[in-house]
């Protein structure tokens, strides 16, 4: 079949037959952090409005359960500040800065 050109319709069907779960590289819930965020972005699109403070600046997808499951219902739109509050990273950053004497 080398040199044989497939019709456009056939190439599309072949491509669709190997998407997501059907792909041999599919890892399911064992997916890495970056790949999971890319998957969420593909499924849900760009995060545009914080669900907590309704800001539209620096909005990102945040995992609700912190288990990083491949579950669309386990993600929420949060601005970076609210995301840091939710994950307790803002609290940890303040403690760290205090111990360094940056208070």
What are the structural domain ranges in the chain? 32-100
* Residue 44 contacts residue 71 (beta carbons within 8 Å): no
State the Cα–Cα distance between residues 60 and 83, nearest whole angstrom: 8
What is the percent of the chain with per-residue pLDDT over 90, rounded to a whole number?
Answer: 45
What pLDDT is recorded for position 5? 80
Structure tokens at 63: 């995992």
pLDDT in tens, 55-69: 999 999 999 999 988
Measured between alpha carbons, how far is 4 from 2 in angstroms, rounded to an integer?
A: 5
Question: What pLDDT is recorded for position 8?
Answer: 86
Which residues are CB-neighbours of 23 under 8 A, at least 6 positions away? none
């Amino acid at each position: 079949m080398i040199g044989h050109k497939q019709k456009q319709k056939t190439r599309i069907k072949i491509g669709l037959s190997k998407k997501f779960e059907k792909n041999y590289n599919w890892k399911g819930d064992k997916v890495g952090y970056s790949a999971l965020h890319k998957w969420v972005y593909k499924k849900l699109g760009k995060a545009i409005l914080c669900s907590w403070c309704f800001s539209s600046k620096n909005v990102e997808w945040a995992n609700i359960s912190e288990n990083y499951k491949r579950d669309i219902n386990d993600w929420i739109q949060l601005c970076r500040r609210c995301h840091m509050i939710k994950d307790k990273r803002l609290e940890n950053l303040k403690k760290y800065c205090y111990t360094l004497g940056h208070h």
